[in-house]
Amino acid sequence: MSKEIIQIRDLKVHYPVRSGFWNRITDYVRAVDGINLTINEGETYGLIGESGSGKSTTGKAIVGVEKVTAGSIIYKGKDITKASNRRRLNYNKDVQMIFQDSMSSLNPRKRIEDIIAEPIRNFENLTTDQERDRVQELLDIVGMPGDAIYKFPHEFSGGQRQRIGVARAVATNPKLIVADEPTSALDLSVQAQVLNFMKHIQQQYDIAYLFISHDLGVIRHMSENIAIMNRGRLVEVGTKQDIYNNPVHIYTKRLLAAIPRVDVEHREEHKKHRLAVEAEYQNDQKKWYDKDGRVFPLQKVSPTHYVAEPASEVANLKESN
């Protein structure tokens, strides 16, 4: 059985809204409003949601880019949100991030050698020769030519830059990588190459991924367990089979119905289904969200499947199953 590597407990990231002459806080934007996740060693956990759902903020909070308002991030049994700077340093070494925009995440003024070596310099004390050997090794791992170390980011294609981003992320031998939409800016053919390459890296180094995306096809290809996020909360959590074969929450059904279909014979049928799901989503909000428009707490439907619905609705689901 795989060991838990990280537990997210009631995580909240709220941004204050200020107004008036005195610029006082009058409200909060609840970007992440109390979510729970558990990621095991070596697994890929998918986090899905539309723009503004809070999924990227969740990833950034985990790696420390966004400040946590409340809740806990427990890594190897220790609450990192309350950890000392020394323990936090070890956590920062073990948890890395791959960003969506490979161009903006790579310093255009630096050569690739310095870009990849930066995290190594932060956590290890290597000689110049040892550092260069390590950078060359990482470039070999991600399938980049050796002379890439002398070049700048703009000299590479989007797929190559994303490979460089992966090389930088694995430079510190991390245990968990938060991958925030790592292939969304790439062509489909290049997407497949990068995804398969990331799977290879995962198997080789036993890395866990929190894979964040709005693309359900990509998540299905990469993930064993999946969480659906909407309005800062999780609306449905389960295995790949739970989410794709037995979706319950209307938001999950809406995302699945929006997946493009290539089979011409059933195109009209899929269109009708998509319109019916959208009508249900628009017309029956009171069932799926509370009086303030917030997502209900998750309720257990099966040992692996959780849905954000009133307890009475979940009881009906269990009876029907």
Give the pair of three-digit tokens for residue 168.
């930088």
Over its C-alpha atoms, the chain yields an Rg (Å, rounded) of 21
The per-residue pLDDT for range 161-219, each reduced to its tens digit, is: 888 888 889 898 999 999 998 887 677 777 888 888 888 889 888 999 999 998 888 89
Q: How would you classify the pairing of strands 305-308 and 298-302? A: antiparallel
Q: Which fold has domain 42-67+88-241?
A: Rossmann fold (3.40.50)
Question: Is residue 65's pLDDT more than 60?
Answer: yes
- What gap in Å lies between CA 113 and CA 67, rounded to an integer? 30
The per-residue pLDDT for range 222-236, each reduced to its tens digit, is: 999 999 999 999 999
- What gap in Å lies between CA 55 and CA 32, rounded to an integer? 8
Residue 214: predicted pLDDT: 87
Break the chain into its structural domains and give their ranges: 42-67+88-241, 246-321
Q: For the chain, what percent of residues have pLDDT higher than 70? A: 93
The larger pLDDT score, comparing residue 44 to residue 125, is at 44
- The angle that helices 128-141 and 112-123 make with each other, rounded to 10 degrees, is 120
Residue 259: predicted pLDDT: 78
Residue 184: predicted pLDDT: 76
Q: Which of 34-38, 76-80, 247-251 has the lowest mean pLDDT?
A: 76-80
The position carrying tokens 């969200």 is 289
The burial of 273, by beta-carbon neighbours within 10 Å (0-12 exposed, 13-18 middle, 19 or more buried), is given as: middle
Band of pLDDT at residue 321, cut at 50, 70 and 90? low
Which residue intervals of the chain are DSSP H helices?
A: 55-63, 85-94, 102-105, 112-123, 128-141, 158-170, 188-205, 216-222, 240-245, 250-257, 267-283, 285-288, 311-320
Residue 320: predicted pLDDT: 56
The per-residue pLDDT for range 7-21, each reduced to its tens digit, is: 999 999 999 998 888
Give the pair of three-digit tokens for residue 190.
């290049």
Helix, coil or strand: residue 70: strand
The larger pLDDT score, comparing residue 114 to residue 315, is at 114
Please tell me the number of Cα atoms within 13 Å of 91 on its side-chain side.
22
Q: Other C-beta atoms within 10 Å of 206: how many? A: 9
- What gap in Å lies between CA 294 and CA 290, rounded to an integer? 5
For the chain, what is the mean pLDDT? 87
